[in-house]
Amino acid sequence: MRRMVVLFVVAALIGGVMLGATAQEDAWIPGLASFLLPGLGQLLNDEIDKAILHFLVDLAIGVGGSFAVRYVPVPWYTRTTIVAAAHLAWAIYSGLDAYNTAKDTGFTLGWGEDGLTLGYAMRF
């Protein structure tokens, strides 16, 4: 099932690129990328510092949360749910942040004369 979801997402990304979607429609790409792997959408938006921060926070939630919940006196499945909920909340925030930034900067992704191009249109 998980492979089907990943294949669907990859197909949707490739399909969006192939169809040459408009800048308004392309903002979902960094949002989805950052939802799947926090920090990836920020990297696509050329926000390197923010991308590293989002990735490290996600890593801290996974690793630090797993160590921290060991000492919570509840069953293991409840502890796993706590870490998973924290990760999901962070992934949603990271995805929304990447989407809003991409929408504000005019993120585009498509085929140009030299191949696959990534473009930004800064709006003031």
> How many separate domains does the chain show?
1
Q: What is the mean pLDDT of residues 12-23?
A: 49
Under 8 Å CB-to-CB from 2, ≥6 apart: which residues?
Answer: none
- 60 within domain boundaries: yes
Contacts by 57-61 with C-beta closer than 8 Å and gap 24+?
57/90, 58/87, 58/90, 58/91, 58/94, 61/86, 61/87, 61/90
Say if pTM beats, i.e. exceeds, 0.85: no
From first CA to last CA, the distance across the chain in angstroms is 43
- 48 within domain boundaries: yes
Name which residue leads in pLDDT, 32 or 113: 32
Q: How confident is the model at residue 95 (pLDDT cuts 50, 70, 90)?
A: very high
Give me the count of residues in the chain: 124
- 124 within domain boundaries: no
Give the domain range for residue 31: 2-119
